[in-house]
Structure 1
Amino acid sequence: MDKITVCNKSPYFCLVENHVLGIPERLKQIDKSYFVVWNSKKEKFEVHSEDNVGSTYCFTVPYRELDCRTLEYARETRIERSDIVFVEIEKQDEIIEKAVKREREKLFDDIGREVFDRAMFEERSTKEV
């Protein structure tokens, strides 16, 4: 769906084609199908793609204004980066799993020591009587 049609369908969308920092134009260097709209209902900028099937929505700009961070965010969220993102997620999951395993082993070790200490105390108590 083209950007004019998208903006005409929603009373809340205003197409942003010009910007003092040239962000809409620079987004096209990342992906030629990108376009920017101001969503007046959410009071946020959104990036859409004419190449998307169904909805053109890609992401909401997580900053109050359009600037170079928007370009970096667009690069980070590109579908071509999905393999890299999945690898990063898997690495983070491994780190979390190892931490959970260490905590579980420490807990079991602590419980074992406590049971052993109580058993020894009970044994000493019965010998003293």
Structure 2
Amino acid sequence: MQGYYTRIENDALDIAARLKEIDDGYFIVYNGYFKRLEVHNKKQGKNTFCLVVPSNRLNARTVELVRRTRAENADRLLAEIDFHNARVEEEALRRAASV
């Protein structure tokens, strides 16, 4: 798999540099096997993968997603997911009751 990765050092919107401002371990690669952009962090050890870049475009949403999904935000992110899932479940129960 190693030959499929191309490291992105510079981009038009300086997303790679902006990610390094958040944490100097972040780097971006283009995964030629899956044809997608990925964010990795060398500080994670052997498995550096963090996330797939949404819409396969480097933009401000990429920076926001990286900030949101950082380990120190895990509790807040899990609370958001639980809240969303509860709302979806309540809506499904309401729909089932009205049928």
Q: Say yes or no: TM over 0.5.
A: yes
* Runs (5+) with no aligned partner, structure 1: 1-8, 111-129
Tell which structure's C-alpha radius of gyration is larger. 1
CA pair 96-10 structure 1, distance change in 2 beyond 3 A: same
Cα distance change, pair 97–28 in 1 and its aligned pair in 2 (3 A): same
RMSD: 2.2
Label 1:79 to 1:103 Cα distance change in 2 as closer, same or farther (>3 A): same
Matched, 1:72 2:57: no
Distance 1:45 1:99, change over 3 A: closer
Q: TM-score, normalised by structure 1?
A: 0.65
More strand, by proportion: 2
Say whether residues 1:32 and 2:31 are aligned partners: no
For residue 93 of structure 1, report the CA deviation from its aligned partner: 3.5
Indicate if the aligned counterparts of 1:50 and 1:56 stay in contact, CA closer than 8 A: yes
Equivalent of residue 85 in structure 1, options 77, 81, 87: 77
Q: Which has the higher contact order (CA 8 A, sep 6+)?
A: 2
Residue aligning to 2:40: 48
User: Shift of the alpha carbon at 1:100?
Assistant: 5.4
Match in the other structure for 1:122: none
2:6 aligned with 1:14: yes
Aligned partner of residue 37 in structure 2, secondary structure: strand
CA distance in 2, matches of 1:99, 1:20: 43
